[in-house]
């Protein structure tokens, strides 16, 4: 099939002319169009900007789905000590690295691939915790104690992978001290003389109401089915 170039050019210029005439009356855009050349430049920028926007939206959707897949994998998995060997913790390909360029003497940082970055869970920055006191398997408070706990960088700066936030042990310790500094501690513990320890008497549950035992205290919260602003539960066992 033979194309007549003159007809194609004529059709293109006809369409282009109509678009440029429309742009001349479009609010804000019209101020950039002074002649046919400036009009073409403006049209080119609009087309390229629109393509870039569509591409960015596509990438955002793709990465959101990838992150959802990573969280779905964690949420249906088992809560056990095997989480210490989770792929994003042990594989260096999920993390940036720094190395010294011997020729220039400059420290170069090499970042992980985009898909690897979005495959990682996000660190937990704050939580809402409903706490109750359990005596002989019965709750003694009509309404649970409600705490809003925020985690600061110093809470996880010593972690092997600090980008994943603080560990379960940090949360357990914070809850222990919140209870110990309350009048309820004096009422139920000091007066009774009972022993109250962090590992045995502070029981934490994730948002799926799964108990998180003390043997998992070195595992970071984002791997234990907990996300920022979740409302979870804690029992002080007496």
Q: Could you please state the CATH topology (level 3) that the domain comprising 126-237 is classified under.
A: Ubiquitin-like (UB roll) (3.10.20)
Per-position pLDDT tens, the chain of length 238: 445 666 666 677 778 788 888 888 888 877 878 887 888 888 888 889 888 888 888 888 888 888 888 888 899 989 999 999 999 998 888 887 777 777 777 877 777 888 888 889 999 999 999 999 998 889 999 999 999 999 999 999 999 899 999 999 999 999 999 999 999 998 888 777 778 999 999 999 999 999 999 999 999 999 999 999 999 999 999 8
* pLDDT at residue 128, as a whole number: 98
* pLDDT at residue 155, as a whole number: 94
* 3-state secondary structure labels for all residues of the chain: CCCCHHHHHHHHHHHHHHHHHHHHCCCCHHHHCCCHHHHHHHHHHHHHHHHHHHHHHHHHHHHHHHHHHHHHHHHHCCCCHHHHHCHHHHCHHHCCEEEECCCCCCEEEECCCHHHHHCCCCCCCEEEEEEEEEECCEECCCCCEEEEEECCHHHCCCCCCHHHCCEHHHHHHHHHHHHHCCHHHHHHHHCCCCCCCHHHHEEEECCCCCEECHHHCCCEHHHCCCCCCCEEEEEEEC
pLDDT in tens, 13-53: 778 788 888 888 888 877 878 887 888 888 888 889 888 88
Q: Domains of the chain: which residue ranges?
A: 5-62, 126-237
């Amino acid at each position: 099939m033979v194309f007549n170039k003159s007809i194609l050019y004529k059709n293109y210029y006809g369409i282009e002319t109509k678009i440029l005439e429309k742009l001349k009356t479009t609010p804000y855009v019209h101020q950039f169009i002074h002649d046919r050349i400036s009009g073409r430049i403006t049209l080119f920028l609009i087309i390229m900007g629109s393509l870039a926007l569509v591409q960015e939206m596509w990438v955002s959707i793709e990465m959101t789905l990838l992150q959802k897949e990573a969280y779905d994998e964690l949420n249906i998995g088992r809560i056990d000590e095997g989480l210490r060997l989770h792929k994003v913790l042990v594989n260096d390909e999920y993390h940036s690295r720094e190395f010294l360029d011997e020729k220039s003497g400059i420290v170069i940082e090499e970042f992980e691939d985009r898909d690897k970055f979005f495959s990682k869970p996000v660190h937990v920055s704050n939580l809402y915790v409903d706490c109750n006191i359990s005596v002989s398997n019965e709750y003694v408070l009509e309404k649970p104690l409600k705490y809003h706990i925020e985690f600061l960088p110093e809470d996880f700066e010593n972690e092997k992978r600090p980008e994943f936030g603080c560990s379960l042990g940090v949360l357990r310790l914070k809850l222990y001290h919140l209870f110990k500094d309350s009048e309820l501690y004096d009422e139920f513990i000091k007066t009774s003389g009972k022993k109250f320890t962090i590992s045995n008497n502070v029981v934490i549950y994730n948002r799926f109401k799964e108990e998180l035992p003390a043997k998992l205290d070195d595992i970071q919260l984002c791997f234990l089915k907990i996300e920022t602003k979740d409302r979870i539960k804690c029992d002080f066992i007496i």
